[in-house]
């Protein structure tokens, strides 16, 4: 099939490249000429393991094309995916849909025969109805169908999540269109993906409800971890014990420093706003937002206690600052609160992250980027493991630190408490 992806960001580029890899011809369209030029020169603008290879392979086989020419791509395509960003509105918590509506308005000019318009961007319930109204201003209903097809891609695992999704959700009531999309996704369905068709609004809400539930699960175990610290229980035993109940499931029950990323915080806030708009108080979701935000303060309190409130002039090494491993994404990472706080209290911070130096810290005094673990840790009074990159899982702390009294705060429970204590380290972790 011929497909047009409008928006060559995280979702559009990964999905476009993977659709091309399934044998489709894919036109990836963006209004950012520099980004398109970069892609046509073989440079990938996002950090996603495996993406460069799959883009290159399909670009060279002429199945994947990058352009700013929306008209040409819409005319040639059967299916048009809207994959533009839906950031939080400035100062508010609702989703900013102007890019979605612009895309709908633009593409409607070039509908020359029946087209399937698919919203892949994460959009509040009923956005598809508005997109339909925008296109109806220029085109008769019989010339298009607006569908919701949310993505469930995790950063760092996006290609795997595209290729082996638990489910493909299609929000549409037109049987012919559902069949067409079922055949587009057929290679994934054959490998075990469940194909679910529902109403358009149903698909829109499935996306938000899924993210909100995952964030709730994380906040739940993070709060249980707090109680574990007070009651001398190992939170990992609780996670395992809970997860063995198939109704709960073991995934997304790892206690940590607070969830971050470009999706959970934004989508949960937007869902709470949708609830208010429909006069339905989503109190659990609002408490998850509050719990996650408070958690960052709670971690800072913990660090103050570990350093006996003497932060000034302390050398602190921070290993990992991204919101999760295998990405360079800093959006809503708990390090964005943590490092500036410690800096303001007079600490000297040396951080190392495998994805490189971060602009978010480059203007802050006494926060330096180091090239490796040893450089960051050698003179540290406190080593904080913030992000669970693989290379942080087998550190020989006696080698990397010269300070016999170094303290270690492992925010991702990468090490065994008993082993670290046997090695003579002052070791702290989460919920243990």
Asked whether the beta carbons of 18 and 191 are under 8 A apart, the reply is no
Residue 190 neighbours by CB under 8 Å, 6+ apart: none
In this structure, are strands 167-171 and 348-352 parallel, antiparallel, or unpaired? unpaired
**The pair of three-digit structure tokens given for residue 143, joined into one six-digit string:** 């010339």
**The pair of three-digit structure tokens given for residue 148, joined into one six-digit string:** 């919701």
User: Toward ligand UDX, which CB reaches closer, 135 or 253?
Assistant: 253
Please report how close the Cβ of residue 127 comes to ligand UDX at its closest, in angstroms: 17
Asked whether the beta carbons of 66 and 44 are under 8 A apart, the reply is no
Task: Identify the active-site residue in 228, 263, 370, 377.
Answer: 263
Please report how close the Cβ of residue 167 comes to ligand UDX at its closest, in angstroms: 11
Could you give phi then psi for residue 347, rounded to 5 degrees? -80, 155
SS3 79: strand
User: Toward ligand UDX, which CB reaches closer, 155 or 410?
Assistant: 155
Please report how close the Cβ of residue 209 comes to ligand UDX at its closest, in angstroms: 12
Sheet (strand 382-385) strand order: 367-369, 348-352, 315-319, 382-385, 407-410, 426-429
**The pair of three-digit structure tokens given for residue 4, joined into one six-digit string:** 């047009």
Asked whether the beta carbons of 117 and 80 are under 8 A apart, the reply is yes
Question: With left for phi above 0 and alpha for psi between -120 and 50, is residue 255 left, alpha or beta?
Answer: beta
Whether 263 is a known active-site residue: answer: yes
Please report how close the Cβ of residue 219 comes to ligand UDX at its closest, in angstroms: 9
User: Toward ligand UDX, which CB reaches closer, 198 or 366?
Assistant: 198
Residue 337 CA to residue 364 CA, distance in Å, equals 13
Alpha-carbon torsion, ordered 300, 305, 309, 313, to 10 deg: -70
Asked whether the beta carbons of 27 and 309 are under 8 A apart, the reply is no
In this structure, are strands 315-319 and 348-352 parallel, antiparallel, or unpaired? parallel
Residue labelled with tokens 């130096």:
357
Please report how close the Cβ of residue 218 comes to ligand UDX at its closest, in angstroms: 5
List residues near ligand UDX by CB under 6 A: 151-155, 211, 214, 218, 252-254, 256, 259-261, 263-264, 323-324
Residue 161 CA to residue 166 CA, distance in Å, equals 8
User: Toward ligand UDX, which CB reaches closer, 78 or 157?
Assistant: 157
Asked whether the beta carbons of 183 and 156 are under 8 A apart, the reply is no
Q: 153: which DSSP letter? A: P
User: Toward ligand UDX, which CB reaches closer, 97 or 177?
Assistant: 97
User: Toward ligand UDX, which CB reaches closer, 211 or 429?
Assistant: 211
User: Toward ligand UDX, which CB reaches closer, 299 or 311?
Assistant: 299
**The pair of three-digit structure tokens given for residue 393, joined into one six-digit string:** 């899982």
Nearest to 428 by CA among 401, 404, 405, 410: 410
Please report how close the Cβ of residue 279 comes to ligand UDX at its closest, in angstroms: 27
Please report how close the Cβ of residue 158 comes to ligand UDX at its closest, in angstroms: 8
Please report how close the Cβ of residue 18 comes to ligand UDX at its closest, in angstroms: 14
User: Toward ligand UDX, which CB reaches closer, 264 or 409?
Assistant: 264
| Enzyme catalytic residues | 263
């Amino acid at each position: 099939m011929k497909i047009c992806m409008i928006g060559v960001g995280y979702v559009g580029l990964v999905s476009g490249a993977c659709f091309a890899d399934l044998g489709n011809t894919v036109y990836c369209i963006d209004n950012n000429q520099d980004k398109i030029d970069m892609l046509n020169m073989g440079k990938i603008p996002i950090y996603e393991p495996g993406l460069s290879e799959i883009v290159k392979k399909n670009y060279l086989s002429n199945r994947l094309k990058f352009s700013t020419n929306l008209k040409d791509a819409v005319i040639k395509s059967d299916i048009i995916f809207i994959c533009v960003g839906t950031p939080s509105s400035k100062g508010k918590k609702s989703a900013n849909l102007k890019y979605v509506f612009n895309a709908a308005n633009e593409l409607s000019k070039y509908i020359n025969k029946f087209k399937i318009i698919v919203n892949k961007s994460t959009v509040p319930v009923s956005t598809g109805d508005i997109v339909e109204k925008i296109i109806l201003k220029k085109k008769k209903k019989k010339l298009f169908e607006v569908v919701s097809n949310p993505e469930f891609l995790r950063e760092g695992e996006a290609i795997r999540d595209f290729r082996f999704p638990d489910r493909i959700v299609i929000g549409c009531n037109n049987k012919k269109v559902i069949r067409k999309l079922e055949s587009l996704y057929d290679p994934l369905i054959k490998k075990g993906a469940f194909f679910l068709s529902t109403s358009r609004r149903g698909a829109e809400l499935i996306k938000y409800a899924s993210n909100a539930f995952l964030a709730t699960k994380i906040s739940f175990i993070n709060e249980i971890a707090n109680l574990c610290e007070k009651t001398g229980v190992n939170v990992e035993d609780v996670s395992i014990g809970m997860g063995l109940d198939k109704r709960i499931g073991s995934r997304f029950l790892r206690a940590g420093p607070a969830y971050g990323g470009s999706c959970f915080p934004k989508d949960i806030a937007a869902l709470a706003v949708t609830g208010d708009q429909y006069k339905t108080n989503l109190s659990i979701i609002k408490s998850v937002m509050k719990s996650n935000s408070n958690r960052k303060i709670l971690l800072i309190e913990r660090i103050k206690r570990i350093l006996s409130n003497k932060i000034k002039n302390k050398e602190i090494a921070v290993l990992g600052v991204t919101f999760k491993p295998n990405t360079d994404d800093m959006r809503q990472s708990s390090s964005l609160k943590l490092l500036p706080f410690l800096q303001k209290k007079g600490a000297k911070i040396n951080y190392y992250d495998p994805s490189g130096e971060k602009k978010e810290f480059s203007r802050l005094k006494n926060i330096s980027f180091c090239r490796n673990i040893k450089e960051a840790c050698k003179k540290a009074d406190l080593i904080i493991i913030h992000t669970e990159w693989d290379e942080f899982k087998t550190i020989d702390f006696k080698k990397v630190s010269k300070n016999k009294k170094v303290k270690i705060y492992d925010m991702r429970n990468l090490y065994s408490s008993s082993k670290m204590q046997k090695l003579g380290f002052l070791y702290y972790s989460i919920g243990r």
